[in-house]
């Protein structure tokens, strides 16, 4: 495993659901200190932090960051089904581009006020079910013109809309996302999340094939390792997008992402620029020590599979 690895902080930290600044102040640097961890993925939820932007600026470690606005995007889609970068509705598309201007401004703020370096910003191809590749291409042209302070932009592929199925995200198919990047002819990559692809494809081996397709496009920037389960588990209902762990670290999760599929995914991804580990804390994890044990178990398995 040669690519730098980013650990997603927000599924591990209970502070996002119940604000606990002392816990998060201890957890963030501790995650960065784990062997093999290069930096963190952090959410943008309308600001740099869901509770306190100034606190985040004072406490975020000076490491590479990936910024993901997907929680905010899902909230906006819930409020307005026209919303999204791939929206054929002019107002819905414009609203999504305007929100990314706010993300870009916060990336500049991180650059100017904190040593943290935003390496990647992920984009998401809402709206649900009605997205259009041509509309996405127009958005990409506008979004790439913004000041991203050197951050790489990458479309994070989420589960695509499948007729007669209730989606978790229901965004554009991977082929349409690739087509939009080609049409816009802009420097935007792809970011795949194993669990979100599994939710779409319902087949662990098919996820490996999708990763290989993305790699063959020459656009694959990052691969995040995150599980999903076809049955109810301690993490929720079947096929929930809840960032389940790698199966061997918590068999009760019923995660389809096991050591063999981690190894297959890494092989399929090839010489990718970034890797991610996006797993949730266990339902009974309460302390920083608990969370670090969960993260370490998954990290150890990734390294052993590389």
DSSP 133-181: HHHHHHHHHHHTTS--TTPEEEEEE-PBP-TTS--SS-B--HHHHHHHH
Please, which residues bridge with residue 157 across strands? 192
Overall average pLDDT of the 67-82 stretch:
97
pLDDT band at 1 (very low <50, low <70, confident <90, very high): low
Per-residue pLDDT at 159 exceeds 70? yes
pLDDT band at 306 (very low <50, low <70, confident <90, very high): confident
Length of the chain measured in residues: 306
CATH for the 5-305 domain, from 3.90.110.10, 3.20.20.150, 3.30.930.10, 3.30.1330.10: 3.20.20.150
Q: Which pLDDT score is estimated for 16?
A: 78
Overall average pLDDT of the 212-225 stretch:
98
**CA dist 23 → 18, 20, 29, 110, 145 (Å):** 11, 5, 11, 22, 38
Q: Which tens digits make up the pLDDT trace of 13-53? A: 988 788 999 999 999 999 999 999 999 999 999 999 999 99
Per-residue pLDDT at 208 exceeds 90? yes
Q: Which tens digits make up the pLDDT trace of 163-175? A: 999 999 999 999 9
Instruction: Write the CB contacts of 46 (distance below 8 Å, at least 6 apart in sequence).
Output: 72, 102
**CA dist 172 → 14, 54, 99 (Å):** 30, 35, 19
Please, which residues bridge with residue 277 across strands? 7, 225
**How far is residue 175's CA from residue 50's CA, in Å, rounded to a whole number?**
33
Per-residue pLDDT at 271 exceeds 70? yes
**How far is residue 124's CA from residue 103's CA, in Å, rounded to a whole number?**
13
pLDDT band at 2 (very low <50, low <70, confident <90, very high): confident
Per-residue pLDDT at 186 exceeds 60? yes
Q: Which of 198, 159, 191 is nearest to 272 (CA)?
A: 191
pLDDT band at 299 (very low <50, low <70, confident <90, very high): very high
Per-residue pLDDT at 145 exceeds 70? yes
Question: 244 and 233 in contact (C-beta within 8 Å)?
Answer: yes
Q: Which tens digits make up the pLDDT trace of 88-99? A: 999 999 999 999
Estimate the crossing angle of helix 21-32 against helix 288-305, to 10 degrees: 20
Do the bridges between strand 220-225 and strand 37-43 make them parallel or antiparallel, or are there none, so unpaired?
unpaired
Q: Which tens digits make up the pLDDT trace of 241-267? A: 999 999 999 999 999 999 999 999 999
Q: Which pLDDT score is estimated for 15?
A: 83
Q: Which tens digits make up the pLDDT trace of 106-141? A: 999 999 988 778 999 999 999 999 999 999 999 999
């Amino acid at each position: 495993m040669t690519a730098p690895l980013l650990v997603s902080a927000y599924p591990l930290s209970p502070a996002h659901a119940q604000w606990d600044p002392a816990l998060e102040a201890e957890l963030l640097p501790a995650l960065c200190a784990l062997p093999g961890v290069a930096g963190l993925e952090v959410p943008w939820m309308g600001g740099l932090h869901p509770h306190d932007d100034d606190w985040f600026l004072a406490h975020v470690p000076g490491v590479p960051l990936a910024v993901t606005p997907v929680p905010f995007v899902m909230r906006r889609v819930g409020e307005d089904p026209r919303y999204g970068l791939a929206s054929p509705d002019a107002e819905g598309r414009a609203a999504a581009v305007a929100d990314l201007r706010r993300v870009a401004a916060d990336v500049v703020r991180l650059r100017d006020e904190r040593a943290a370096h935003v390496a990647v910003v992920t984009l998401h191809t809402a709206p649900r079910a009605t997205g259009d590749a041509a509309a996405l291409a127009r958005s990409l042209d506008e979004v790439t013109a913004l000041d991203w302070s050197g951050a790489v932009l990458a479309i994070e592929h989420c589960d695509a809309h499948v007729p007669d199925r209730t989606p978790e995200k229901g965004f554009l198919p991977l082929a349409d996302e690739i087509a939009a990047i080609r049409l816009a002819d802009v420097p935007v990559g792809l970011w795949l999340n194993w669990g979100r692809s599994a939710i779409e494809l319902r087949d662990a081996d098919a996820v490996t094939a999708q990763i290989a397709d993305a790699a063959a496009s020459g656009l694959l920037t990052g691969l995040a390792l995150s599980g999903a389960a076809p049955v109810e588990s301690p993490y929720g209902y079947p096929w929930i997008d809840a960032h389940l762990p790698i199966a061997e670290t918590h068999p009760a999760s019923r995660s389809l992402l096991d050591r063999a599929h981690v190894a297959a995914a890494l092989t399929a991804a090839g010489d990718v620029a970034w890797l991610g580990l996006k797993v949730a804390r266990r339902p009974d994890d309460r302390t920083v020590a608990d969370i670090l044990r969960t993260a370490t178990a998954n990290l150890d398995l990734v390294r052993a599979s590389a």
